[in-house]
């Protein structure tokens, strides 16, 4: 219900430039004064305000603003304020320039090696040895070669350099466009942040950056304060200042004790964004706001802090798998290239000096060196082709492309990897209100004056007294920001502004032909005596007003089963009180509330209570105040299911995703809506639980949550009703930590309220509502649904799966090229002393295969068929068996073709053989045909690679992807140019039409061969291994479980040494504990205290140390120890290994399965024990 607390604040946003002028621009405060004021807290600040300005009103006057009307909304005044006090935004970090990106791309090791080799080769080609014509140096060049050709030795070196430059530019350009897209996204997220200010007495939503000093702003529950400020008026305002002070308790702010409010908006980025959450219990708050971080000394650390908080590039599961795979491939390539170079060099040396028996002549040295450089270049090109540098590129392109397209599907992605994780989601925990339903609440049934109305009653049917009470109770006891405005367009529905449940009640007042506005004008917000705002614990909201006879009247509304328990009277049909006993209440629940709930209605009770002037209660004792009520009415509010939701949920279920509904509504309403949506189907085995029952089932006698108990509940749970935010977090954490299925669950969660923050953070993917969501929820989420609609989540699943598939398509294609090119270069070099594919040709192949193909295959649009398969697991390998079959199958075809052409091609085409050509001989047609055929096969195989699940029709939907078509045709065109006019640099000689047709024919054979491969059932090929598994168990746990911990550097994570040292440390501590124990038995007998829950055991439970696999061989403790058993008797029983301990969420247990339970018991200490000092020092 109502995040009710409106408040006004005055803002002085952040100055960029230091302008010091005596009372600048006619305002009564300088920048420096405001800055020094904001550095004070509490009483000091109040004193300073009183001394300098008299009171907050005085400060407003100095800043030429009115606490009630706000600033005049004229541009020149606002501009002047910006000039003097600066603007309210933090300038973004400078993007990298294109040149910096080029420089970064040049850092690639293989490219550097190539550059060096090319330069050496260039240098040597210009050196003409004196004994050039002497035959002594072996066959340097055949006689047929004319002088001009010999001079062209430099071309190869130059061409290699040129192609390196090409590769670098393409990489840099890709990075640059990626960076640009990312910035666009960031600025889009930032522009979406608006804040409510009062200007000219009107409430306006302005972008946070447009706030100026002197603005009066309204703060509601769950807002992030966009600037520093001073409180003008407020009710029970609490603010989370933990990011500044480190204190987790909320700080109470009031105009008479501590009026200073500090901005807590941090550029989004670091895992734990600090926020100053305005948490209000009630009423109106008004504050004056002050410069957000001025440029002065005290504030500079703030800037530094912001700089350090640049978004960390988080490594997603997919990137983890890919990096691992790329490293493995790179290693293999390195070995191959080294072997190639060694074989070539040995062969040459033996051939020249041993077989032909030549002596090494001094004047021949440069010639020989040139040979060696050539071998070296061949080796390096093998390496270049082997290393798939296109992999990271493919991921980035694919993610960036998806993110851009997802914008159109109403998904605003805040963290890139969320989009790919979403494809693996196995469970979605969704809110009900607004996500599954339209969030346009309407009152459809009511119980007034002893009568149950199935539709809105006629005003004449009600007693005037009841009607009057009802109108007042609804109009006053709701946030004054909640209104019903006339529709924007003719014939549309009236606009509901503010809290939807309250809108339904206000709508009910309008349906009764009454009006709420006059009532509100008669009792404005600042006349309200006390407000208890709605929160998830109370589940009710109450407002107290002072009556003309100086008594008080309290209006209350809330969940019917909760408020009816506090009612002792009820109004009958004449508007008189009659007593309302527990028996009557049960009667009412059965006859009115349950039938309403079974129709899917949310029931709300509206009640009041009068206090005479004499018996003014203690207003802080809320339980006493809100009790002994008189029930006016019970209304049933319906929130209709969105028409498109049932279909979306069916799609999710088909795709192997379980949808669970978590709502604060009562169980009958929830069950009715779940049935309408199709979350529960008749005849299925499912659970619908209330929060209480859920907690009873999952907690043991001590009230601790046990994973085993949770594992019995969650697989069948479909609806969790009357749940608190903690229940939601518990459920999400329980499903994620569960080991029952064959693979770990990947959970997506939707949330809109401030209290959903923890669950959104804990989930693998958190969806926040763009319209209804609070800033805090958006800050904690990964994806923002700009239309608050469940169908957008299904779109996100589709895109996520598409990213995964795009990467797999690219991999399938890339690896085929790699395998073939490496083997051809290697065997060719060994048999004919010269790679059939030249260095420059290899680089071109590498360029089209890596960069262009990643563009072509990574931008395939998603299809509905993606939702027909089950989700991939976390540890499912990237390269499935089917893909492995395709890769090897196509490699066989290509290798056969190329070797046939290499060894008998000259006979077939009736041309000169290109084998064993001397050093600077002109390019031969023979080798050109091989190169051309190779590229043609790659082009056709690129079409095959579009399908990875063994589908037959590879052309399906090909025209839906213009990028793909452009790239394939473009590559083909460039290939024609290279072959026909590439000449010496590309080692190509022009081919005739017939030869071209043969090349095309052999290339197109790939498509036919693809069909052949598709007929071979994968299940028969047991020998095929999958590759590219996810990070293993041990690497995964710390990644998955590191709950909001700062990302630890990957390299550090992999250092097992750390863990071993940790164990040694533990061993030492244990030895010390034993010594301590000896003392304890005598000293601490008197100090026995109840068992402490914060034993080291839990304390050490940080995810980084979840040690599964390598515990066994590290001697933790000698089991045969006698003390150990004594200790075990005194200590509480060791918790079960995967107990989900709520007290300390980061639970990780050293007693992993398989270690002796001895360890756990050592660490359970008593609060009084000296061990406590050890815990803290740890």
3-state SS class at 282: strand
pLDDT band at 1064 (very low <50, low <70, confident <90, very high): low
Q: Among all chains, which residue has been given the structure tokens 């009483």?
A: 43
pLDDT band at 660 (very low <50, low <70, confident <90, very high): very high
For the CA atoms of the chain, what is the radius of gyration?
A: 37
DSSP H or E stretch at residue 995:
helix 993-1015
User: pLDDT tens digit string along 141-157?
Assistant: 433 334 444 455 676 67
Q: What is the pLDDT of residue 996?
A: 93
The pLDDT > 90 percentage for the chain reads 13
* Other Cβ atoms closer than 10 A to 326: 17
Catalytic positions: 431
Residue range 992-1012: average pLDDT?
A: 92
Task: Please tell me what DSSP assigns to residue 458.
Answer: P
Q: What is the pLDDT of residue 390?
A: 66
User: pLDDT tens digit string along 512-551?
Assistant: 998 988 999 898 888 888 888 887 777 889 999 988 888 8
CA–CA gap between residue 822 and residue 172 (Å, rounded): 26
pLDDT band at 848 (very low <50, low <70, confident <90, very high): low
Q: What is the pLDDT of residue 1073?
A: 62
Residue range 435-444: average pLDDT?
A: 84
Reading the block at residue 132, the tokens are: 């050039």
Kindly compute the dihedral angle of the four CA atoms of residues 982, 986, 990, 995, in this order, to the nearest 10 degrees: -130
H runs (alpha helix) in 259-316:
297-308
Contact 321, 1056 (CB under 8 A): no
Max CA separation in the chain (angstroms): 127
Contact 874, 421 (CB under 8 A): no
CA–CA gap between residue 436 and residue 645 (Å, rounded): 6
CA–CA gap between residue 601 and residue 441 (Å, rounded): 10
Sign, Cα dihedral of 536, 537, 540, 544: negative
Model confidence at 243: pLDDT above 90: no
Residue range 649-658: average pLDDT?
A: 92
Residue range 586-607: average pLDDT?
A: 89
Model confidence at 9: pLDDT above 80: no
Reading the block at residue 7, the tokens are: 């408040």
Buried b (16+ CB within 10 A) or exposed e, 691-720: bebbbeebbeeeebbbbebbbebbbebbbb
Model confidence at 635: pLDDT above 70: yes
Q: What is the pLDDT of residue 1118?
A: 39
CA–CA gap between residue 585 and residue 565 (Å, rounded): 8
pLDDT band at 1145 (very low <50, low <70, confident <90, very high): very low
Model confidence at 5: pLDDT above 70: no
Reading the block at residue 303, the tokens are: 């800037």
Q: Report phi then psi at 290, rounded to 5.
A: -135, 170
Residue range 937-955: average pLDDT?
A: 88
User: pLDDT tens digit string along 399-429?
Assistant: 778 888 888 888 888 877 788 888 888 999 9
* Other Cβ atoms closer than 10 A to 644: 12
Question: For 39-48, 335-344, 473-482, which range has the lowest pLDDT when averaged over its residues?
Answer: 39-48
Contact partners, residue 900, CB within 8 Å, separation at least 6:
none
Return the bridge partners of 1103, or none: none
Q: What is the pLDDT of residue 1165?
A: 40
Contact 284, 526 (CB under 8 A): yes
CA dist list (Å): 448 to 213, 456, 469, 514, 601: 50, 10, 11, 16, 16
Reported pTM? 0.65
* Backbone region of residue 42 per phi and psi (left: phi > 0; alpha: psi in -120 to 50; beta: other values): left
Cα angle: 150, vertex 153, 158; to 5 degrees: 155
User: pLDDT tens digit string along 1073-1103?
Assistant: 665 565 555 444 444 433 333 333 433 333 4
CA–CA gap between residue 1099 and residue 1178 (Å, rounded): 9
- To the nearest 10 degrees (0 to 180), the angle between helices 925-944 and 839-846 is 10
The mean pLDDT value of the chain amounts to: 75
Return the bridge partners of 6, or none: 284
DSSP H or E stretch at residue 1120:
none
Label each residue of 776-805 as H, E or C: HHHHHCCEEECCCCHHHHHHHHHHHHHHHH
Buried b (16+ CB within 10 A) or exposed e, 80-89: bbbebbbbbb
Return the bridge partners of 345, or none: none
Contact 928, 991 (CB under 8 A): yes
Q: What is the pLDDT of residue 832?
A: 74
Contact 1117, 1103 (CB under 8 A): no
**Through-space distance between the first and last CA atoms of the chain, rounded to whole angstroms:** 44
Question: For 582-586, 758-762, 1084-1088, which range has the lowest pLDDT when averaged over its residues?
Answer: 1084-1088
């Amino acid at each position: 219900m109502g995040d009710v607390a409106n408040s006004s604040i005055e803002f002085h946003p952040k100055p960029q430039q230091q302008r010091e002028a005596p009372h600048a621009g006619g305002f009564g405060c300088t920048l420096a004064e405001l800055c020094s004021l904001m550095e004070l807290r509490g009483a000091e600040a109040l004193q300073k305000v009183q001394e300098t300005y008299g009171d907050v009103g005085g400060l407003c006057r100095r800043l030429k603003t009115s606490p009630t009307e706000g600033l005049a909304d004229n541009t020149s005044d606002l501009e002047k304020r910006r000039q003097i006090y600066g603007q309210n935004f933090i300038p973004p970090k400078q993007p990298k320039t294109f040149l910096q990106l080029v420089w970064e791309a040049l850092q690639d090791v293989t490219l550097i090696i190539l550059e060096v080799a090319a330069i050496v080769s260039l240098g040597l080609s210009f050196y003409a040895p004196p004994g050039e014509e002497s035959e002594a140096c072996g066959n340097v060049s055949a006689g047929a070669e004319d002088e001009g050709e010999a001079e062209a030795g430099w071309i190869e070196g130059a061409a290699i350099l040129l192609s390196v430059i090409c590769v670098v530019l393409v990489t840099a350009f890709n990075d640059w466009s990626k960076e640009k897209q990312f910035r666009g996204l960031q600025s889009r997220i930032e522009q979406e942040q608006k804040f409510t200010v009062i200007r000219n007495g009107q409430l306006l939503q302005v972008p946070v950056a447009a706030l100026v000093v002197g603005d009066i702003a309204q703060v509601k529950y769950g807002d992030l304060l966009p600037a520093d400020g001073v409180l003008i008026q407020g009710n029970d305002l609490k603010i989370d200042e933990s990011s500044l002070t480190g204190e987790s308790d909320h700080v109470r702010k009031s105009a008479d004790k501590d009026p200073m409010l500090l901005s807590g908006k941090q550029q989004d980025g670091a895992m734990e964004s600090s926020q100053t959450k305005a948490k209000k219990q009630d009423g109106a708050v008004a504050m004056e706001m002050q410069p957000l971080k001025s440029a002065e000394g005290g504030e500079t650390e703030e800037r530094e802090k912001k700089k350090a908080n640049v978004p960390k590039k988080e490594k997603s599961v997919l990137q983890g798998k890919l990096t691992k795979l790329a490293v493995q491939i790179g290693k293999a390539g390195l070995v191959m290239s080294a072997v190639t170079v060694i074989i070539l060099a040995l062969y040459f040396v033996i051939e020249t000096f041993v077989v032909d028996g030549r002596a090494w002549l001094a004047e021949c040295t440069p010639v020989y060196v040139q040979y060696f450089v050539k071998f070296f270049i061949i080796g390096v090109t093998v390496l270049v082709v082997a290393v798939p540098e296109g992999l990271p590129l493919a991921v980035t392109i694919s993610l960036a492309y998806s993110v851009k397209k997802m914008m159109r599907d109403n998904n605003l992605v805040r963290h890139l990897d969320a989009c790919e994780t979403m494809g693996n989601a196995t469970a979605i925990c969704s809110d009900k209100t607004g996500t599954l339903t339209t969030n346009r609440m309407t009152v459809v049934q009511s119980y007034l004056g002893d009568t149950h109305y199935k539709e809105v009653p006629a005003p004449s049917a009600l007693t005037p007294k009841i009607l009057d009470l009802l109108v007042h109770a609804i109009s006053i006891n709701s946030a004054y920001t909640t209104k019903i405005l006339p529709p924007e367009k003719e014939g549309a529905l009236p606009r509901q502004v503010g809290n939807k449940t309250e809108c339904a009640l206000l709508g009910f007042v309008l349906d009764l032909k009454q009006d709420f506005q006059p009532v509100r004008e008669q009792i404005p917000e600042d006349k309200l005596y006390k407000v208890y705002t709605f929160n998830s614990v109370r589940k009710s909201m109450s407002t107290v007003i002072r009556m003309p006879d100086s008594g008080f009247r309290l209006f209350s509304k809330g969940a019917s089963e909760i408020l009816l328990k506090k009612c002792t009277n009820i109004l009958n049909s004449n508007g008189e009180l009659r007593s309302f006993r527990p028996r009557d209440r049960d009667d009412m629940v059965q006859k009115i509330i349950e039938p309403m709930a079974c129709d899917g209605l949310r029931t709300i009770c509206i009640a009041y209570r009068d206090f005479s002037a004499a018996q003014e209660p203690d207003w802080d004792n809320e339980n006493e105040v809100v009790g002994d009520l008189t029930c006016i009415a019970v209304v049933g509010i319906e929130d209709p299911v969105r028409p498109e939701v049932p279909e979306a949920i069916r799609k999710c279920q088909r795709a192997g995703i379980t949808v669970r509904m978590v709502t604060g509504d009562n169980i009958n309403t929830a069950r009715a809506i779940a049935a309408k949506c199709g979350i529960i189907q008749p005849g299925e085995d499912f659970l619908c639980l209330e929060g209480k029952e859920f907690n009873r089932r999952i907690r043991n006698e001590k009230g601790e949550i046990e994973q085993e108990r949770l594992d019995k509940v969650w697989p069948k749970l479909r609806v969790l009703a009357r749940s608190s935010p903690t229940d939601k977090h518990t459920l999400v954490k329980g499903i994620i930590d569960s080991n029952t299925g064959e693979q770990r669950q990947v959970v997506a969660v939707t949330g809109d309220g401030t209290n959903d923050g923890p669950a959104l953070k804990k989930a693998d993917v958190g969806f926040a509502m763009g319209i209804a969501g609070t800033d805090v929820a958006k800050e904690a989420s990964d994806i923002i649904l700009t239309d608050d609609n469940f169908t957008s989540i299904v779109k996100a699943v589709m895109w996520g799966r598409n990213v995964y598939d795009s990467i797999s398509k690219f991999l399938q294609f890339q690896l085929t090229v790699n395998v073939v090119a490496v083997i051809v270069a290697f065997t060719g070099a060994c048999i004919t002393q010269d790679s059939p594919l030249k260095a420059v040709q290899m680089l071109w192949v590498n360029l089209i295969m890596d960069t262009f193909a990643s563009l072509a295959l990574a931008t395939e649009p998603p299809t509905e068929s993606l939702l027909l398969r089950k989700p991939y697991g976390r540890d499912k390998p990237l390269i499935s068996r089917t893909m492995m079959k395709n890769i090897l199958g196509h490699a066989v075809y290509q290798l056969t073709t190329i070797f046939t052409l290499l060894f008998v091609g000259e006979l077939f085409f009736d041309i000169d053989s290109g084998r064993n050509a001397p050093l600077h001989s002109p390019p031969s047609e023979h080798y050109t045909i091989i190169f051309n055929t190779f590229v043609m096969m790659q082009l056709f195989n690129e079409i095959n690679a579009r399908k990875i699940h063994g589908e037959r029709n590879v052309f399906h939907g090909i025209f839906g992807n213009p990028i793909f078509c452009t790239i394939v045709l473009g590559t083909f065109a460039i290939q024609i140019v290279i072959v026909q006019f590439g000449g010496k640099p590309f080692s190509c000689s022009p081919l005739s039409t017939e030869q071209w047709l043969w090349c095309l024919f052999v290339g197109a054979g790939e498509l036919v061969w693809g069909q052949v491969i598709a007929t071979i059932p994968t299940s028969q090929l047991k020998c095929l291994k999958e590759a590219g598994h996810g990070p293993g168990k041990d690497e995964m746990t710390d990644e998955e479980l590191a709950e909001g911990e700062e990302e630890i550097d990957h390299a550090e994570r992999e250092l097992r040494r750390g863990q071993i040292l940790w164990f040694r440390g533990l061993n030492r501590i244990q030895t010390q504990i034993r010594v301590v124990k000896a003392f304890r038995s005598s000293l601490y007998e008197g100090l026995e205290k109840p068992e402490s829950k914060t034993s080291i055991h839990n304390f050490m439970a940080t995810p980084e140390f979840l040690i599964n696999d390598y515990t066994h061989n590290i001697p933790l403790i000698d089991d045969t120890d006698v003390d150990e058993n004594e200790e075990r008797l005194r200590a509480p029983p060791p918790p079960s290994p995967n107990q989900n301990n709520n007290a300390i969420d980061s639970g990780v247990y050293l007693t992993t399965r398989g270690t002796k339970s001895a360890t756990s018991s050592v660490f359970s200490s008593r609060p009084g024990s000296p061990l406590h000092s050890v815990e803290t020092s740890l």
